[in-house]
A and B are shown apart, each in its own frame.
Chain A
């Protein structure tokens, strides 16, 4: 049963990391830069299942953070101090609608796992009291 607590904690950790990348993406949604390489690219964590052979349970881990491959838009803004020699600035490729959906999904998943954690904790506490009355 203590293993369930680990599973829920690992999942909450993963979802929290996802929320963090969403926050970072939204914060940089309007960032601009002077070249295409420097433009902010949306970050996305990669989840993978981790099998525990002995207990036959499956935990979750974040194996890495990948950057979005979406194209970078450039905007003609010669007056901008960030503009390159041709007068273009490069926008981030963050899709705010996608990020909002991601945020809601992550927070729901986090809530589910928090629920698993507290239920399991209650069961463990009751098990400790077994035979005491």
Chain B
């Protein structure tokens, strides 16, 4: 019985990759906070993760065991995979006169949020690894 790493690590591997990509996009926004005409961008994380899962043949849909159970909502499946992440433009509260739409406080908050979520995904992955290790060692 082989261990399937894709299944063992679950969605966390894809999530970590997407968090990393989002970190780069947000860092780009903060870097261009004072570049005239620059438009702030971001990743729609939910859609991107849905895309990644669709490619892997996994999905977050819950099992429906009774007729009254509701759907979790559509999860977009496409063959693009994690590599082709859609970047969206941010709607600024107050665009500046030079056409720049970066709002430093918003980007800082998103960046901090993303860093935290990256860490929690990392934690999940870490504990998956330790459970795998414990399984291999037969619980010793």
Contact = CB atoms under 8 A, between A and B. Distances in A.
A58 B119 contact: no
Contact of B30 (A105, A112, A123, A133): A112
Contacts of B25: 56-57
Contact of A56 (B85, B118, B119, B122): B85
B89 interface: no
Contacts of A48: 35
A126 B19 CA distance: 14
Contacts of B35: 47-49, 60
Chain A interface mostly = helix
A78 to B, nearest CB: 43
Contacts of A1: 20, 23-24
A57 B24 contact: yes
Interface in B19-77: 20, 23-38, 41
Contact of B27 (A8, A108, A126): A8
How extensive is the interface on chain B, given as a class? Answer: 20 to 34
B23 A120 contact: yes
B80 interface: no
A78 B119 CA distance: 69
B45 to A, nearest CB: 15
A59 B28 CA distance: 6
Contacts of A58: 28-29, 31-32, 38, 41
Interface string B111-128: 110010011001001100
Contacts of A4: 23-24, 27
17 contacts: A4-B27, A11-B33, A47-B32, A47-B36, A57-B25, A58-B28, A58-B32, A109-B33, A109-B104, A113-B30, A115-B108, A116-B31, A119-B112, A122-B115, A123-B118, A127-B122, A131-B126
Given A8-B27, A123-B115, 17 more contacts: A7-B27, A49-B32, A55-B24, A57-B28, A58-B31, A58-B41, A60-B35, A105-B34, A112-B108, A113-B30, A116-B26, A116-B111, A123-B119, A126-B119, A126-B122, A130-B126, A131-B125
Interface of B: 20, 23-38, 41, 85, 87, 104, 108, 111-112, 115, 118-119, 122, 125-126, 129-130
Interface of A: 1, 3-4, 7-8, 10-11, 14-15, 47-49, 55-60, 105, 108-109, 112-113, 115-116, 119-120, 122-123, 126-127, 130-131, 133
The 7 closest A-B pairs by CB, nearest first: A11-B31, A131-B129, A4-B27, A58-B28, A47-B35, A7-B27, A57-B28
